[in-house]
Structure 1
Amino acid sequence: MLIILVISLLVLLLIGVPVGFSLIGSSLIAILVQDTIPLQAIPQRLALGLDSFPMLAIPLFILAGTVMEAGGITKRLIHLSEVLVGHIRGSLAHVSVVSNVFMSGVSGSGVADAAATGSALIPTMVKRGYGKGFAAAILGASATVGPIIPPSIPMIIYGSLAGVSIGKLFIGGAIPGLMMSTSLMIVSYFIAKKRGFEKRQRARFSEIIAAFKEAFWALLMPVIIVGGIFSGLFTATESAVIAVIYSLIIGLFVYKDLKIKELPKKILETVTMSSSIGIIIAASAPFAWVLAYAQGPAKVLAMFQNIASSTIVAMLLLMLILLVLGCFLDGMAIIIITTPVIMPILGQFGIDPLHFGVILAINVMIGTITPPVGTIMYVALSIAKCSVVEFTKEIWPFLLVLIGLLVIFALVPEIVLYLPNLLMK
C-alpha cells in the first residue's frame, strides 16, 4: 500500500496534476487497491484537515499583507530602505534585501513579498543596468527571508501539525532571518563592486528621520504582532485578526492610500491565494492518514536508524531530503506531507521540534528559488521578463550562502532557540 501511495503521487505530479489533486488522487488509488478502507474516509479527512483554529491565521495574514500593500505601505518601506542603505555599492540590491526584511513583518508570505517589492524594484534595477537575471535573483533570494522573520505562514502550518508553539517558532526565526539578510547584502556588495554597479549619494540625517516618520506606522505593525505574542496578550491567530484591523485603519485613515472600493478586489486576491494553500492543506490530511495506516513513518524511522549514526547525521540527511524535495514540490505541500513522517525521527534522535521547525521553514523557502518548481523564482521571472537560465546563472552565489547558513543553523541550535528560551520560557 505504501509503495502504491508514493508511486501514484509521483506519477500524478510528473504528468502535471496540481499538488492538491495529486495528494487526493494518490490517497484514493491506495484506498481502492487496499479495498479495506471505506471511501468516505477521504471527504471526512479533507474536512478534518482544515478544522484547525491556528490555520485561520493564514488567510488573515494574507489579507493584512494585501491591504497594507494597497494602503501605501510597500512604497514607504522601500523609500526608508533606500535612504538607509542606498549609499552602499549596488544600491538597489541592498534596498531589495532591506525592503523584504521590513515587508516580512507584514504578510508572512514570501510570494506576496516578492510580488509587492519586485513590481516596484525590478524594473528600476533593470533600467539602472543591474541586468534582468541579477535583479530577479537578488529579489527572489531576499523574499525567502519573509517567512523566516515573523509572522510566517510555513511556521503556522508546521506548528499546527507538530503541536509546537507558533509564537516560539516566530521568535526563533528572527535571528536566522536577520543573518540571512545580512549575508545576502554582503554577497551583493562584492558582486556590485566587481561589476561596477551604482552607488547613490548618502542620505542626509534629516532625510532618514523623515523616512522613518513616514514609515512609522508600517514599522509598528510587526512590533505589535511579535510583542503581543511573546507577552502572552494574544495568540498567533488573534494577532492575525489584529493585523487586519490595524492595516485597514492605517490604509484608510492614516496614509489614506487605500480606497473603500479597492477592498472587494483585495478580498478576492486573498481568497484566491488562501484557497490554493487551503486545497493543499485539506488534501494532505487523507494522504497523511493513509501514509500512517501504511506505517510509513515507522518504516522511514527504521531506515534512519540504520543509516544515521548520530543526531548530526540525521539532521543533515533530513535537510538534504528536504532540499531535493524543494526542487520539485511546493513548500506548503512539503511541510504537510513530511511533518507526520519526520516527528518520530526527531524524537528518536533528540532533535528539538522547535529548532527543526525553523530549519524546515528555511529549507522550503530555499526551494522556492530553485528550478524547476520555485514559486518565488517564477514571480521574479515574470516581473523581470527573463529566462530560467538567466536566473540560474545569477542565483547560485546567494543559494550557496543560504544553504551554508542552513547547515550552521542546523548544527548550532542555540541560534534558533536563544530568543524563544529568553523571551517565552
Structure 2
Amino acid sequence: MLILLIASLFGLLLLGVPVGFSLLGSSLIAILAQGTIPLQAIPQRLALGLDSFPMLAIPLFILAGTLMEAGGITKRLITLSEVLVGHIRGSLAHVTVVSNVFMSGVSGSGVADAAATGSALIPSMIKRGYGKGFAAAILGASATVGPIIPPSIPMILYGSLAGVSIGKLFLGGAIPGLLMSGSLMIVSYMIARKRGFEKRERARLKEIIKAFRDALWALLMPVIIVGGIFTGFFTATESAVIAVIYSLIIGLFVYKDLKIKELPKKLLEAVSMSSSIGVIIAASAPFAWVMAYAQGPAKVLAMFQSISDSTIVALLLLMLILLILGCFLDGMAIIIITTPVIMPILAQFNIDPLHFGVILAINVMIGTITPPVGTLMYVAISIAKTSVFQFTKEVWPFFLVLVLLLAIFALFPQLVLFLPNLLMK
C-alpha cells in the first residue's frame, strides 16, 4: 500500500497533475486498492487538514504582504536598500538581496517577496546589463530568505503540525536568514567583479536619513510582530491579524499609496494565492493519514536505524532526502507529508524539533529554486522573461552556497537555537 501511494503520487506529478490533486489522487488510489477503508475518510481528512487555528495565520500574512506592496511599503524598502548598499559593485544585485531581507520581515512568503521586489528591480538590472538569467537567479536565491527571517509561513505550518513553539521557530530563523543573505551578497560581489558590473556613488548621509525616515513605518512592522510573539502579548495567528490591520492603516492613512477602490482587487489576489496553498494543505492531510495507516513512519525509522545510529548521519541523510523532494514537490506539501514521518526519527536520534524545523524551512526554500518544480524559479523567469536553462546556469553558485550553509546549520545547532534560548527560555 505504501509503495502504491508513493508511486502513484510521482506518476501523477510526472503526468503534469497539480500538486494538490496529485496528493488527493494518490490517496484515493491507495484507499481503493486497500479495499477496507471507507471512502468518507478522504473528505473527513480534507476538512481536518484545514481545521487549525495556527494555520489561519497563513492567508492573513499573505493578505498583509499584498496590502503592503500596494501601500507603497515595498518601494520604500527598495529605496532604503539602494542608499545602503548601492555603492557596492553589482549594486542592484545587492539591493535585491537587502530588499528581500526587509520584505521578509513583513510578509513571510518567498513568492510574495519575489513578485514584489522582482517587478521593480529585474527590469532595471536587465537595462544595466546584468543579463536576464543572472537577474532572475539573484531574485530567486534572495527570495529564499523570505520565509526564514520571521515571520515565516513554512514555520507556522511546521510548528502547528509538530507542536513546536512558532515564536521560537521565528527567532531561530533570524541568524540563519541573515547569514544566508550575507553569503549571497558575497557571491554576487565576486560575480560582479568578474563580469565588470556597475556600481553607484555612495549615498550621502542626508539621503540615508531620508530613506530611513520614509521606511520607518515599514521597518517597525517586524519589530511589532516578532516582539509581540516572544513577549507573549499575542500568538502567531493574532500577529497576522495585527499585520493586516497595520498594513491597511499605513497604506491608507500614512503613505496614502493604497486606495480604497483597490482593496477588492488586493483581496482577490490574496484569496487566489491562499487558496492554492490551502488546496495543498488540505490534500496533504489524507495523504499523510494513509501513509501513517500503512506504517510509513515506522518503516522509514527502521530504514534509518539500519543505516547508522549516528545523529549527524541521520540529520544529513534527512537533509539530502528533503533536497531531492524539493526538486519535485511544493514546499508546503513536503512539510505536511514529511513532518509526521520524521518526528519519530527526531525522537529516536535526539534531534531537537526546534532546530530541525528551521533547517527544514531552509531546505524547502532551497527546493524552490531547483527545477523542475521550483516555484521561485518560475516567478523569477516569468518576470525576467528568460528560460529555465538560463536560470539554472546562473543560479548554481547561489545554490551551492545555500546548501553549504544548510549543512553548517545542521551541524552547529547553536546558530539556530541561540536566540530562542536567550529570549524565550
Give the whole-Å Cα distance in 2 for the aligned partners of 1:33 and 1:97: 49
Q: Deviations over 1:80-132 (max 9, x none)?
A: 00000000011000000000000001110001100000000000000001111
Distance 1:60 1:366 in 2: 24
| Matched position secondary structure for 1:106 | coil
Cα distance in structure 1, aligned partners of 2:412 and 2:75: 37
In 2, Cα distance between the equivalents of 1:82 and 1:192? 16
Check if 1:178 corresponds to 2:178: yes
Instruction: Give CA-to-partner distance per residue, 1:333-381, whole Å, 9 cap, x none.
Output: 1111111110100000000000000000000000000111110011110
CA distance in 1, matches of 2:399, 2:221: 30
**1:359 paired residue number:** 359
Q: Distance in 1 between matches of 2:74 and 2:308?
A: 46
- Counterparts of 2:16 and 2:394, CA distance in 1: 28
Equivalence for 2:347: 347
Question: Match of 2:322?
Answer: 322
Please give the alpha-carbon distance, in whole angstroms, between the structure 2 residues aligned to 1:6 and 1:378. 25
Q: State the distance in 2 between where 1:195 and 1:24 align.
A: 48
Aligned partner of 1:253: which letter? F
Deviation for aligned residue 1:388: 1.1
Q: Which residue of 2 aligns with 1:304?
A: 304
**TM-score, normalised via structure 1 length:** 0.99
In structure 1, C-alpha distance between the alignment counterparts of 2:261 and 2:122, rounded to whole Å: 28
Helix, strand or coil for the counterpart of 1:269?
Answer: helix
1:3 paired residue number: 3
Does 2:76 correspond to 1:64? no
1:401 and 1:21 map into 2 onto residues whose CA distance is 34
2:207 counterpart residue number:
207
Paired residue type of 1:371: P
Tell me which residue corresponds to 2:42: 42
Where in structure 2 are there 5+ consecutive unaligned residues?
none
* Kept in 1: contact 2:132–2:385 (CA 8 A): yes
The residue correspondences of 1:235-250 to structure 2 (distance < 5 A) are 235-250=235-250
1:178-204 deviation line (CA, Å, top 9, x unaligned): 000000001111111111111100000
Residue of structure 1 equivalent to 2:283: 283
Quote the residue 1:84 is aligned against. 84
1:198 alignment partner, SS class: coil
CA distance in 2, matches of 1:320, 1:301: 16
Q: Which amino acid aligns with 1:234?
A: F
CA contact 2:150–2:174 (8 Å) conserved in 1: yes
Spell out the pairing of 1:263-274 with structure 2 (5 A cutoff).
Answer: 263-274=263-274
Looking at structure 2, the residues matched to 337 and 286 of structure 1 have their Cα atoms a distance apart, in angstroms, of 10
Q: Secondary structure at the match of 1:386?
A: coil
Letter aligned with residue 251 of structure 2: G
> For 1:43 and 1:202, how far apart are their aligned partners in 2?
59
CA contact (8 A) 2:309 2:349 kept: no
Distance 1:148 1:253 in 2: 30
Structure 1 segment 143-154 matched on structure 2, within 5 A: 143-154=143-154
Are 1:374 and 2:374 counterparts? yes
Query: Partner letter of residue 100 of structure 2?
Result: N
Cα distance in 1 for partners of 2:308, 2:402 equals 24
Paired amino acid for 1:215: A
Using the aligned pairs only, state the percent identity: 87
Shift of 1:9: 1.1
Give the match for residue 410 of structure 2.
Answer: 410
SS across alignment from 2:39: coil
CA distance in 2, matches of 1:97, 1:311: 34
1-structure distance, mates of 2:15, 2:281: 21
Please give the per-residue CA displacement for 1:374-420, whole angstroms capped at 9, x wherever unaligned.
10011110111111111111101111100000000000000000000
1:395 paired residue number: 395
Separation of aligned partners in 2, 1:364 and 1:199? 33
Structure-2 residue corresponding to 1:139: 139
Deviation of 1:308 after TM superposition, in Å, equals 2.4
Q: Distance in 2 between the 1:270 and 1:359 partners?
A: 27
Question: How far did residue 306 of structure 1 move?
Answer: 0.3
**2: distance between equivalents of 1:416 and 1:124?**
35
Alpha-carbon distance in structure 2 between the residues aligned to 1:204 and 1:312: 49
In the alignment, the residues of structure 1 paired with residue 373 and residue 151 of structure 2 have an alpha-carbon distance, to the nearest angstrom, of 24
Distance 1:349 1:182 in 2: 32
| Correspondences of 1:10-21 after superposition (within 5 Å) | 10-21=10-21
* Matched AA of 1:41: A
Q: Separation in 2 of the partners of 1:333 and 1:418?
A: 29
Q: Distance in 2 between matches of 1:245 and 1:102?
A: 19
Aligned to 2:110: 110
Asked whether 1:258 is paired with 2:264, we answer no
Aligned partner letter, 2:11: V
Greater mean deviation of Cα atoms: 71-80 or 27-36: 27-36
Q: Secondary structure at the match of 1:350?
A: coil
Whole-angstrom CA distance in 1 between matches of 2:10 and 2:396: 27
* Amino acid corresponding to residue 154 of structure 1 in structure 2: P
4+ aligned runs moved over 2 Å, structure 1? none
Opposite residue 298 of structure 1, the aligned amino acid is: A
- Give the C-alpha shift of residue 17 in structure 1: 1.0
Give yes or no for contact 2:162–2:343 (8 Å, CA) kept in 1.
yes
Give 1:390's aligned amino acid: Q
Q: Which amino acid aligns with 2:388?
A: V
Segments of 5+ residues of structure 1 without an aligned counterpart are: none
TM-superposed deviation, 1:250: 0.1
Q: Which residue of 1 aligns with 2:189?
A: 189
Q: Which amino acid aligns with 1:297?
A: P
AA of the residue aligned to 1:411: L
